[in-house]
Chains A and B, each alone.
Chain A
Amino acid sequence: EVQLVESGGGLEQPGGSLRLSCAASGFTFSDYSMNWVRQAPGKGLEWVSYISSGGTAIFYADSVKGRFTISRDNAKNSLYLQLNSLRDEDTAVYYCAKGRTSTSTCMDVWGQGTTVTVSS
């Protein structure tokens, strides 16, 4: 069964840091791009970041560029998102999602999400 399981969310103060992880199973992780998408409470979906299958291409939404860092470890079938300089508006459920191909931001498998709350 293809599965993505996120972890690492929690309560953090403004200006703080968190590291989200996503454990993948049931498919050849190194063959596919990966993405992070977030959803603020009661709001729509916001694409956050993308990394290609080999990790050579990385993109960010303008809202997180310079503060968040995406990475992957293909040997560990894991995806990461380092969140620095957190703001109140970063409060959201963060989803890890598998790209349909090695380079796509079209996402065919999603995790259940991990909740990040930024508050003092």
Chain B
Amino acid sequence: EIVLTQSPGTLSLSPGDRTILSCRASQSVSNNYLAWYQQRPGQAPRLLIYRASSRATGIPDRFSGSGSGTDFTLTISRLEPEDFAVYYCQQYSTSRGTFGQGTKVEIK
């Protein structure tokens, strides 16, 4: 089973800041089948990025994904108030779509 480790656990930032979230896999994620989700408090998760770098429908271009193999990042270029949330990476290259433990982006 591929284990995903996200870092840092929590980020304290201000609106307008740029931030980079990390997701490291215990083994290579084939085809770069790595997704990022956002979960706001009390809401269901929302798909942001799939296949490491493709934005899902309706996702603003301030969100971008990159990486390959075992190291992936999600960059938010300028934080908006609605971006303060928990972010999860997920690999879907195997039959079991495992998630990372999440990174919380909170207001400083």
Contacts and interface: CB of A to CB of B under 8 A. Distances in A.
Interface of A: 35, 37, 44-47, 50, 57, 59, 61, 95, 97, 100, 104-108, 110-113
B59 to A, nearest CB: 11
A19 B3 CA distance: 30
B45 A105 contact: no
Interface in B23-47: 33, 35, 37, 39, 43-47
B79 to A, nearest CB: 21
A104 B46 CA distance: 16
Nearest to B46: A110
B47 A44 contact: no
B95 A47 contact: no
Given A44-B86, A105-B95, A106-B33, 6 more contacts: A47-B99, A106-B97, A107-B35, A107-B97, A110-B44, A112-B44
- Which among A45, A104, A111 has the greatest number of chain B C-beta atoms within 10 A? A45
Contacts of A59: 95-96
A92 to B, nearest CB: 13
Interface size class of chain B, counting residues whose CB lies under 8 Å from the partner chain: 20 to 34
A57 B98 CA distance: 17
A59 B50 CA distance: 21
A46 B50 contact: no
B96 A44 contact: no
Contacts of B64: none
* Majority secondary structure of chain A interface residues (helix, strand, loop or mixed): strand
20 contacts: A35-B97, A37-B45, A44-B86, A44-B99, A44-B100, A45-B45, A47-B96, A47-B98, A47-B99, A50-B95, A50-B97, A59-B96, A95-B44, A100-B50, A105-B90, A106-B47, A106-B50, A107-B97, A108-B47, A110-B45
Given A106-B90, A106-B97, A112-B44, A45 B102 contact: yes
